[in-house]
């Protein structure tokens, strides 16, 4: 099991549950949502426009999240000595809370959603649009049922332990799980407010993308 956490951390797969949930409207958007952390630089038509729209949506979601007052409040719940890593910790915590409270946001259970996501992502027609590293990661996540693992009670602590060995000053992350447990209700309240705002932002962004085509 720890090997899977290392796989996810090593490929920066820390908060993909939210991205895939928000991009679930159609298959191309879903693929773009997955590829958002793997495709860098300007989007110049290397992939179909619907997939690039999903990549851009992923980037817009990240920017909205980073700047939102609620996520900033969540980061400020960490001691000043560890705040440098708080953004990473909050991403992991929010995805965990989404998994824990999944029934509030979907009529489909998490395991069924995950199975459907990876079936759609790994369609033969999409394979050539994956960078090699992204394809390996997607296949690994599918076989490991990585999205469902996000709801495990030990998900946050395992992520922090794995990540601590991979980033500069990663040891600052080791107390993050304890900070979360001590303030679980506060983080949960933050997440609930933020995620409703993020859903509204995403729906508007998708509507605008559709209108502009």
Q: Give the tens place of pLDDT for each residue, 47-70.
A: 999 999 999 999 999 999 999 999
153, pLDDT greater than 50 = yes
Neighbour-count burial for 138-166, b at 16+ CB within 10 Å, e otherwise: bebbbebebbbbbbeeebbbbbbbbbbee
Per-residue pLDDT, averaged over 148-155, amounts to 92
pLDDT in tens, 5-43: 444 444 444 679 999 999 999 999 999 999 998 999 999
| Rounded Cα gap, residues 175 and 77, in angstroms | 12
**What three-state secondary structure class fits 44?**
coil
Are 36 and 134 contacting, i.e. CB atoms less than 8 angstroms apart?
A: no
The model carries a pTM of 0.91
As a whole number, the mean pLDDT across the chain is 89
pLDDT in tens, 64-95: 999 999 999 999 999 988 877 898 899 999 99
% of the chain exceeding 90 in pLDDT: 72
The DSSP annotation for 149-201 comes to HTTSTTHHHHHHHHHHTTSTTGGGGTTHHHHHHHTHHHHHHHHHHHHHHHHHH
- Give the confidence band of 176 by pLDDT, cuts at 50, 70, 90: confident
- Per-residue confidence (pLDDT) for residue 213, from 0 to 100: 59
Are 46 and 183 contacting, i.e. CB atoms less than 8 angstroms apart?
A: no
Are 18 and 3 contacting, i.e. CB atoms less than 8 angstroms apart?
A: no
- Give the confidence band of 166 by pLDDT, cuts at 50, 70, 90: confident
- Give the confidence band of 3 by pLDDT, cuts at 50, 70, 90: very low
């Amino acid at each position: 099991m720890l090997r899977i956490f290392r796989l996810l951390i090593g490929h920066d797969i820390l908060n993909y549950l939210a991205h895939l949930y928000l991009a679930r409207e159609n298959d191309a958007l879903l693929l773009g949502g997955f590829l958002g952390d793997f495709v860098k630089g300007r989007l110049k038509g290397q992939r179909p426009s619907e997939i690039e729209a999903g990549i851009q949506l992923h980037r817009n979601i990240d920017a909205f999240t980073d700047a939102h007052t609620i996520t900033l409040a969540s980061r400020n719940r960490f001691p000043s000595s560890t705040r440098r890593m708080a953004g990473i910790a909050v991403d992991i915590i929010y995805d965990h809370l989404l998994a824990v409270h999944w029934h509030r946001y979907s009529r489909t259970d998490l395991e069924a959603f995950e199975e459907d996501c990876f079936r759609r992502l790994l369609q033969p027609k999409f394979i050539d649009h994956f960078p090699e590293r992204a394809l390996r990661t997607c296949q690994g996540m599918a076989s490991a049922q990585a999205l469902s693992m996000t709801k495990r009670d030990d998900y946050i602590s395992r992520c922090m332990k794995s990540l601590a060995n991979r980033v500069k000053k990663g040891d600052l992350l080791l107390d993050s799980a304890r900070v979360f447990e001590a303030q679980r209700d506060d983080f949960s309240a933050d997440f609930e407010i933020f995620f409703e705002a993020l859903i509204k932002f995403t729906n508007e962004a998708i509507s605008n993308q559709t209108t502009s085509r």
